[in-house]
Amino acid sequence: MELNNDQNNLSPSSSTTSTPSAFRPIATVAAATTTTTTTTDPMQSWWESVSKARARILSLSSLLPSDPSSSFSLSSLADSDRPALSFLSSFEAYTLFSSALSSPSSGSGSDPLCQWLYETYLSSDPHLRLIVLAFLPLLLGLYLSRIHSSETTSTPSLAGFEAVLLAIYSSEAKSRAGKPVLVQVPDLSQPSLYHSPRNKQNSHGLNSSKQSVGVLSPPLEPQIAVKSTKRPVIVGVTLDCYFKQISQMPSWSKVELCKYASDWAGQDCACKDKFDVDKEIAIENGNGRSGGYFLEDRNLSNGYGNNGHEIDDVVEEMEKLGIERDVTVDSESRGVRIPLPWEILQPLLRILGHCLLGPMNPEDVKDASSVAVRRLYARGSHDLAPQVLLATRSLIQLDKRSREAAKAAAAAANANTPSKAKKPEVLLVSK
């Protein structure tokens, strides 16, 4: 498939109804993703899946630059028993792919890496699809940052990025079959959730009497191009697809998304440290540097010092004015501040909630999500978005409680650890 649409001369933010050549095969995504191999031999089906994954990984080796000083090679991943999962868990493969995808000339309609991601997602192998979803944070970060960057004089051609996003969106639209995603809202007139009467269920599987239904996502319309008015919906659906498979995503992919979410929220300001001024919890931003200022003197922070009330007044006035300060300077920051409508924020907050509270997540994922949630809270404070404030404040409180509980458990474990018995002193006495 050729993803070149330079002849159409269309920018990604164009709202025209013409169809670039890069998106004409998108209409066949649903049919391509539903085809499965019908075989009665499980061994043959497994071997076909392994062969397909090996072919895809080996085809990628010709697109990525090779490092003569490194012993790593994609062929070693292709020769494993599970090539796709081996590629997914390899940090070296991620570094090699991300450096190539982050080049200034990437994302165009003729980008071979975008074409590889597009064709890989069209395969029926679920493990190969996981590879594409794992690189979705990087792809979205580059795509949204370049579109909303104020430094670029003209919007570059990002048809390759958009083709991958439309492939994921079209597949999800086909699986939903034109139905919205609903959620059952509890009846607040009852004393508790367990006092609700058991009544017959309607066609949606919900109780018919006093039933309140919330719409998480409306029915998805078919899209053949990423128009500026439809971009938030398409990006939000791709993030929702990422959230559905987040338990299988590697830690580097989650950290990538948390870092871009922090950059999308905007520059640091005093609002993000509002809930941490009286605690001694240091939250790292994933690079070994503190993500904010935390007062260690509780007497000053609580107003018990000689000038405690004056300090509290100054802090309160600073928060009201929203004075921005550059707390940390992340040299690896590649994202920019972008518009964050609810279509993007809703799945993004669900992802950050998993990264923040997932018991199996490593500390770097939890730390990066802590910084992202606090910056989104600060963004919601400036934008006066009540939905964002409620969601981010709840996540911050849960994060603080989990960290305090972990700190208390560690202190109790150290207190219960028996100290090593000292050897008795032997005194030499001369006769």
What is residue 414's predicted lDDT score, i.e. its pLDDT? Answer: 79
Percent of the chain with pLDDT over 90: 33
> Full-prediction pTM beyond 0.85?
no
What is residue 211's predicted lDDT score, i.e. its pLDDT? Answer: 62
Least confident of 153-157, 357-361, 396-400: 153-157
DSSP 3-state assignment of 355? helix
**Distance set, CA 205 to CA 68, 193, 209 (Å):** 59, 17, 12
User: Residue 84, exposed/middle/buried by CB under 10 A (0-12, 13-18, 19+)?
Assistant: buried
The more confident residue out of 167 and 16 is 167
What is residue 23's predicted lDDT score, i.e. its pLDDT? Answer: 43
The 10s digit of each residue's pLDDT in 384-416 is: 889 999 999 999 999 989 888 888 888 888 777
Which uninterrupted H or E stretch holds 183?
strand 181-185
Taking residues 232-255, report their average pLDDT.
95
What is residue 286's predicted lDDT score, i.e. its pLDDT? Answer: 43
Least confident of 70-74, 86-90, 366-370: 70-74
The 10s digit of each residue's pLDDT in 249-291 is: 999 999 999 999 999 998 667 666 666 654 444 444 444 444 4
Number of H helices, E strands in the chain: 16, 2
Of the candidates 284, 224, 234, the one whose C-alpha atom is nearest the C-alpha of residue 258 is 284
Name the β-bridge partners of 290: 284
Residue 205: pLDDT band (50, 70, 90) is low
The 10s digit of each residue's pLDDT in 105-141 is: 889 888 999 999 999 999 878 999 999 999 999 999 9
What is residue 320's predicted lDDT score, i.e. its pLDDT? Answer: 43
What is residue 80's predicted lDDT score, i.e. its pLDDT? Answer: 83
The span from the CA of 316 to the CA of 313, in Å, is: 5
The 10s digit of each residue's pLDDT in 18-50 is: 334 554 444 444 444 444 445 567 777 777 788
What is residue 155's predicted lDDT score, i.e. its pLDDT? Answer: 66
